[in-house]
Structure 1
Amino acid sequence: MPHDGAGQPADLGRVKGVIGLGLPTVAMGLLGLAMLPVEAAALLIVPSLVTNVWQLLAGPLFGALLRRLWPMMVSIVAGTLAGSGVIVGTDAGAATAFLGAALALYGVVGLAKPRLRVPPAAEPLAGPLVGAVTGATGVFVIPAVPYIGSLGLERDDLVQALGLSFTVSTLALTAGLVLHGALPLATTAISVLAVLPALVGMAFGAWLRARVRPEVFRLCFFVSLLLLGGELAWREMAS
């Protein structure tokens, strides 16, 4: 299993520190160039969980957000557990192509910046539906991130809500991989080693967030996701 790029966890953590998301998303895409998606998911479990919990606990409204979003979180768990068998058992080429398509779609949505707004009355139905679809994809960003962004949360509350969603998703994915025997001990040990550089990168990213124009970084981030996802999907379809 290739593990090139000693500074990569710090770079990915820096992405997460700046905009509140990105470590699992970018890492899944980059690692997908060198290994199977299920291997990349296993490798990312520990650093993703640690940085997501950090992000979750940094905000002021954990209790209120949990009361509001718990139906979505329950559906994420159910969808992830149901979809984990597909992720583990899917043909490697098809799984990589799907990952690429999901990342490209996420890039398009991010660049389009659709002005979505979900009315509070629709949340009891929309939240569980979005959670189930998000869990089933195994990427954790589509459609969860656009949906959470449509709830009208303030910036810090939005970052904390994303941390909650990603934390639950990571724990559910871990359970799914264990359930299907796809979480080897060696991979878990390597995953633990990636925590420190990821935390350093995340702390630097939080510092950078206050000093970089958000729109410039956002543009670079989503264009990169679009190109990376397109490359993954095209490479598998052309092979």
Structure 2
Amino acid sequence: METHIIYIATVFLLAGMVKGATGMGLPTVAMGLLGLVMAPMEAAALLVVPSLLTNGWQVLSGRPLYPLWLRLRGMMTGICLGTLAGGTLLLQAQGGGRVLGLALVLYGLLGLGERTWAVPERWEPWLAPLAGAATGLMTAATGVFVLPAVPYLQALRLDKDELVQAMGLSFTVSTLALAVVLAAHDAWQPAAAGASFLAQLPALAGLLLGQRLRGRLQPQVFRRCLFITLLLVGVHLVLADA
């Protein structure tokens, strides 16, 4: 049991560092590593409090939120509806980690290839809800919130700090929607809630370390770190689910 606790704490410390440095990756890294020792539903239940707290910190430590919320509210609505609609997928998911891993590997390789995308402003009213709904379905199937939310947000051509804040907002909404799904399926029990609250401590410590590292990164280095993180996590998920 003690070894189990040390492993969980180490996972959340590492996941927090990745998130602090790149603005994302806590649920992805944590789900991939926790999936080696527990069922996906148990891992997702552990994620709720650390993910909510670190993402809330990420959102509130940036610029004024309201203008960003106005721009992304269609996406946030889509995330909620997609997650709730796909609520049974996390219970039934088989091979979900491999699917997510392959998608992350592909996206990481494309990003490292230096090709960039841009979403025209006139497309945002209809594309944002679609990107949100697809992200919600992926959240319900795998317990992580990366795709296609991150590619969409990057295509908006936000600067580094805006991108980090926008990802934090997207992940916060995804976490809340996932928590509702878990509670509806009786996966948010007192024991899971207590363990999730404890897991926030190493996650916050890792977040602070990662933020200090991010402050020293140039934009191009930051971008490469983001895609390398996605690629490595994707490879891990593919191998772990093989």
Number of the residue aligned with 1:26? 29
The one of 161, 168, 171 aligned to 2:173? 168
Question: Matches of 2:156 and 2:229 in 1, distance apart?
Answer: 26
Aligned to 1:15: 18
Of all paired residues, the percent bearing the same amino acid is 51
Matched, 1:37 2:40: yes
Partner of 1:186: 191
Alignment pair present for 1:73 and 2:76? yes
- Cα drift, residue 225 of structure 1: 4.2
Mapping for residues 52-63 of structure 1, pairs under 5 Å = 52-63=55-66
TM-aligned CA deviation for residue 207 of structure 1: 1.1
Q: Secondary structure at the match of 1:159?
A: helix
**1:40-98 superposed Cα distances (whole Å, 9 cap, x missing partner):** 1111110010000000011113000111110100000000111121111234xx23333
* Gap regions ≥5 residues in structure 1: none
**Distance in 1 between residues matched to 2:239 and 2:204, nearest whole Å:** 33
RMSD: 2.3
CA distance in 2, matches of 1:11, 1:128: 32
Query: TM-score, normalized by length of structure 2?
Result: 0.87
Deviation of 1:220 (Å): 5.9
Alignment of 1:135-174 (within 5 A): 135-138=136-139, 139-174=144-179
Which residue of the partner structure matches residue 9 of structure 2?
Answer: 6
- If the length of structure 1 is used for normalisation, what is the TM-score? 0.88
Deviations along 1:154-211, one digit per CA (max 9) or x if unpaired, are 2211111111000000000000111122223212211110112211111111111123
Corresponding letter in the other structure for 1:129: L
Query: What are the ranges of 5 or more consecutive residues in structure 2 without an aligned counterpart?
Result: none
Q: Measure the CA separation in 1 of the matches of 2:233 and 2:165.
A: 27
Cα-to-partner distance string for 1:114-147 (whole Å, 9 max, x where unaligned)? 3110011000011000000011011211111011
User: Residues 29 and 103 of structure 1 are in contact (CA less than 8 Å); yes or no, is this contact kept in structure 2?
Assistant: no
Aligned partners of 2:97, 2:169: CA distance in 1, in Å?
A: 26
In the alignment, residue 81 of structure 1 is paired with which amino acid? L
Are the structure 2 counterparts of residues 208 and 234 from structure 1 closer, same or farther at C-alpha, using a change threshold of 3 Å? closer
The number of residues matched between the two structures is 235
Question: Which is worse superposed, 217-226 or 164-173?
Answer: 217-226
In the alignment, the residues of structure 2 paired with residue 33 and residue 109 of structure 1 have an alpha-carbon distance, to the nearest angstrom, of 28
* Counterpart Cα distance in 2 of 1:109 and 1:178: 37
Q: Distance in 1 between matches of 2:222 and 2:158?
A: 21
- Ranges of 4+ aligned residues in structure 1 off by more than 6 Å: none
Shift of 1:222: 4.1
Measure the CA separation in 1 of the matches of 2:21 and 2:127.
28
